Amino acid sequence: MKILIAYYSKTGNTQFVAEKLAEELSKENTVEVKKIELKKPLGIFKGSWEAIRGKEPEILDLGISPADYDMVCIGCPIWAFNPHPAFNSIVSQCGSLSGIKTAVFATHGGQKKNALGKMVERVKDKGAEKVLYADFMVEDKEKTARKIESFAINLLSGF
Ligand SMILES: Cc1cc2nc3c(=O)[nH]c(=O)nc-3n(C[C@H](O)[C@H](O)[C@H](O)COP(=O)(O)O)c2cc1C
């Protein structure tokens, strides 16, 4: 399988998850990892407001087409109980997810509310049928790594 992992990360936690997930999935698949970059940095206040409002800040074009992959995984941190707005931007930028195995993941500090549900809905709006998802609190990296391994197994067997 050809798998894309696209993620936004400001302080490294989501990057840790994306890279460990790539390591696990690449044992038997071809995995591309792409970091989402904002055109202008978003501070915590504007970023939180945009997260709450479901805004789509400008991001650099990743030039990705989901049709080139069998599976697409998109990850971001949770800000103000919502997906970081860069998540909205990448989902909006990529083409139809119909027929593509789609997964979303988020990292957070323990207060996720319905952020994962919103992420699932957004990719479903782009045509994703079944969506697998997971969230991670990156406090203890060893523990998180075990949880990422389970998520990878789920992704390879759960669609
Ligand atoms: C502006 C801001 C808002 C945040 N809001 C939440 C939140 O609502 N709930 C939560 O559990 N964690 C929240 N966090 C913590 C981050 O989600 C967490 O540290 C995440 O792992 C950071 O990911 P990153 O290192 O990939 O940027 C917030 C962090 C920032 C900077």
The share of the chain scoring above pLDDT 90, in percent, equals: 97
- Per-residue pLDDT 10s for the chain (159 aa) are 999 999 999 999 999 999 999 999 999 999 999 999 999 999 999 999 999 999 999 999 998 899 999 999 999 999 999 999 999 999 999 899 999 999 999 999 999 999 999 999 999 999 999 999 999 999 999 999 999 999 999 999 999
Answer yes or no: is the C-beta of 114 below 6 A from any ligand 1 atom. Answer: no
Q: Pairing between strand 71-79 and 82-83?
A: antiparallel
Q: Which amino acid belongs to residue 153?
A: I
Q: Is the distance from CB of 21 to CB of 133 less than 8 angstroms?
A: no
Complete domains list, the chain, with CATH: 2-157 (3.40.50.360)
- pLDDT at residue 26, rounded to an integer: 98
- Give me ligand 1 centre to Cα 17, in Å: 14
Residue 73, exposed/middle/buried by CB under 10 A (0-12, 13-18, 19+)?
buried
pTM (2 decimals)?
A: 0.98
- Give me ligand 1 centre to Cα 61, in Å: 24
Residue 43, exposed/middle/buried by CB under 10 A (0-12, 13-18, 19+)?
exposed
Instruction: Fill in the DSSP letter of residue 38.
Output: B
- Residue count of the chain, please give it: 159
In terms of Cα–Cα distance, which of 48, 125, 136 is closest to 91? 125
Answer yes or no: is the C-beta of 80 below 6 A from any ligand 1 atom. Answer: yes
User: Which residues are CB-contacts of 41 (< 8 A; sequence separation ≥ 6)?
Assistant: none
Query: pLDDT tens-digit profile of 9-39?
Result: 999 999 999 999 999 999 999 999 999 999 9
